[in-house]
Amino acid sequence: MIAQPKASHFIDGQYVEDSSGAAIDVIFPATGELIARVHEATPAIIERALASAARAQKEWARVKPVERGRILRRAADMIRERNQSLSELETLDTGKPIQETTVADATSGADALEYFAGLAPTVTGETMPLGRDFVYTIREPLGVCVGIGAWNYPTQIACWKGAPALAFGNAMIFKPSETTPLCALKIAEILHEAGLPAGLYNVVQGRGTVGAALVTDPRVAKVSLTGSVPTGRKVYAMAATGIRNVTMELGGKSPLIIFDDAHIENAVGGALMANFYSAGQVCSNGTRVFVQKGIKEKFLQRLKARTEAIRLGDPRDPDTQMGPVVNAAQMEKVLSYIEIGKKEGARLITGGQRAGTNAGCFIAPTVFADVTDDMTIAREEIFGPVMAVLDFETEEEAVARANATEFGLSAGVFTGDLARGHRVVANLEAGSCWINAYNLTPVETPFGGSKQSGVGRENSKAAIEHYTQIKSVYVNLGDVDAPY
């Protein structure tokens, strides 16, 4: 097994094994090869993770922010130095091409650690003068935070949750997706090598039941989930019973609106990036591509040509531009949506079937045109390389149809008229929007969804709100005025 970790879990500063937990096989989706086996956390493992995090957090909260930041900054540097090997592991874990993982995964995790390292010492309270008296506020950590990850960006998610939690004085217990359990262990290892005290970043493996055990433990102050809307509903409800803080980064069915006056090649490039990066397994993808009627056929012609030129293949090959989807179950799900698209009358422009002949989970990048709002492929999140192109006539119509969904994660607009770009974005119900771009998510930018796509924001200064709480202190400088 070429990617077997030292042990399944990382707790209290070290690798820990308990093979009595149910086995989780890790499969490289390009070949079907078994690359590692980890074990689900048992109640004893979960207890060790919680107890060590609770203990370590109390000490960590007393460490000066600049010192906390220094450790995170060191970890960021180490991640960048080890980018190649971390990217190779991410490629094995997820099947994403090495071309992508070397620029988008560990590196974006390092960015988060570096950013929050710098932000940590800037977090301060306020003073409110009240005549003779005054009030001051302290921004305090929440305590023990639980992070639960999806399988599409395992390294990035481990860092996007861990970096702000640690920077502001919390501990993090991270449960990776059972589909991609390997990369978070490396992040834990690096953080501790960089000087993070034991217990502050624990990784435990497991399926939903392990997640649920963490979410419902009374020692946990906050839960941050990246996952689907149905999982979000369950986790949010469980967190609510303990009145815990939550961040919910959930799914989407985001619109990308392309007007007649857009630069065609840029718009096609944007639509490709919005649908085929990571084989379409990106939560913020613009999977409903609304194209204004005047440029429809020209747009489709260029889209078809550029889609058919995408190099599918072994994700370890640096020339490969698209790898497999994450596993056989996901492949079957995506293929079934493709069949539904055909059956419901969408016009297949290219793709539309499995690709390759081996055991790999490859799907040809697929484009449907003449998609209507009521079709299943225009309503449900597919999470694979399937683009739906819809046409529209007026700006008003495009905005109304773009908003007609329970999701609200992201949205994009391509237009040569910047005034229109701003106007349209102002009317779109989505947390992250792009004008003449798509899917760029630098750490300086708040990221998250509105409507059912989520609660809270990751990254940027907005994360301070989600990993700290305010204590207010009233200071009386005079006598106590009691009527009794």
Annotated catalytic residues are 161, 249, 283, 458
Say how far apart CA 82 and CA 105 lie, in whole Å.
12
Interface with ligand NAD includes 361 (CB under 6 A)? no
The site map against ligand NAD for 161-200 (x = CB under 6 A) is --------------x-xx----------------------
* DSSP sequence for 269-300: HHHHHHHHGGGG--TT---EEEEEGGGHHHHH
Residue 298's DSSP bridge partners are none
Residue 447's DSSP bridge partners are 458
Q: What residues have CB less than 8 Å from 97, skipping those under 6 apart?
A: 91, 315, 317, 320, 321, 322, 323
The residue (of 158 and 289) whose beta carbon lies closer to ligand NAD is: 158
Interface positions, 406-425, toward ligand NAD (CB under 6 A): 409
Q: Quote the least distance from Cβ 177 to ligand NAD, whole Å.
A: 4
Out of 152, 170, 202, 320, the residue judged to bind ligand NAD by CB under 6 A: 152
Q: What is the CA radius of gyration of the chain?
A: 24
SS3 state at 176 = coil
Q: Which stretch binds ligand NAD (CB under 6 A): 229-237, 287-295, 333-341, 464-472?
A: 229-237
The residue (of 30 and 409) whose beta carbon lies closer to ligand NAD is: 409
Q: What residues have CB less than 8 Å from 393, skipping those under 6 apart?
A: 292, 293
Say how far apart CA 18 and CA 289 lie, in whole Å.
48
Pairing of strands 33-39, 255-258: unpaired
Q: Are 147 and 224 in contact (CB under 8 A)?
A: yes
Interface with ligand NAD includes 391 (CB under 6 A)? no
Interface with ligand NAD includes 151 (CB under 6 A)? yes
Interface with ligand NAD includes 323 (CB under 6 A)? no
Out of 80, 82, 219, 234, the residue judged to bind ligand NAD by CB under 6 A: 234
Query: Can you say how many angstroms the Cα of residue 209 is from the centroid of all Cα atoms in its chain?
Result: 21
Instruction: Give the count of residues interacting with ligand NAD (CB under 6 A).
Output: 29
State how far the alpha carbon of 303 is from the alpha carbons of 265, 281, 344, in Å. Answer: 9, 19, 22
Q: Which stretch binds ligand NAD (CB under 6 A): 61-69, 95-103, 116-124, 226-234?
A: 226-234
Residue found by looking up tokens 């906390």 in the block: 68
The residue (of 292 and 452) whose beta carbon lies closer to ligand NAD is: 452
Give which of 467, 469, 470 is closest to 164, Cα–Cα. Answer: 467
The site map against ligand NAD for 31-70 (x = CB under 6 A) is ----------------------------------------
Q: Quote the least distance from Cβ 121 to ligand NAD, whole Å.
A: 27
The residue (of 358 and 445) whose beta carbon lies closer to ligand NAD is: 445
CA angle 399, 232, 20 (to 5 degrees): 150
Out of 45, 120, 150, 291, the residue judged to bind ligand NAD by CB under 6 A: 150
| Angle, helix 183-193 to helix 154-167, in steps of 10 degrees | 40
The residue (of 69 and 252) whose beta carbon lies closer to ligand NAD is: 252
- Looking at beta carbons, which residue is closest to ligand NAD? 211
Q: Are 278 and 100 in contact (CB under 8 A)?
A: yes
The residue (of 234 and 263) whose beta carbon lies closer to ligand NAD is: 234
The residue (of 93 and 178) whose beta carbon lies closer to ligand NAD is: 178
Interface with ligand NAD includes 231 (CB under 6 A)? yes
Say how far apart CA 225 and CA 115 lie, in whole Å.
21
Out of 454, 457, 466, 468, the residue judged to bind ligand NAD by CB under 6 A: 454
Out of 60, 115, 337, 383, the residue judged to bind ligand NAD by CB under 6 A: 383
Interface positions, 237-296, toward ligand NAD (CB under 6 A): 249-252, 283
Say how far apart CA 69 and CA 321 lie, in whole Å.
36
Q: What residues have CB less than 8 Å from 339, skipping those under 6 apart?
A: none
Q: Quote the least distance from Cβ 225 to ligand NAD, whole Å.
A: 6
The residue (of 231 and 350) whose beta carbon lies closer to ligand NAD is: 231
The residue (of 153 and 168) whose beta carbon lies closer to ligand NAD is: 153
Say how far apart CA 343 and CA 356 lie, in whole Å.
24
Interface with ligand NAD includes 216 (CB under 6 A)? no
Q: Which stretch binds ligand NAD (CB under 6 A): 9-17, 90-98, 144-152, 302-310?
A: 144-152
Out of 208, 242, 269, 446, the residue judged to bind ligand NAD by CB under 6 A: 208
Neighbours of 472 (CB within 10 A): 11
Binding site for ligand NAD (CB under 6 A): 148-152, 175, 177-178, 207-208, 211-212, 215, 226-228, 231, 234-235, 249-252, 283, 381, 383, 409, 449, 454
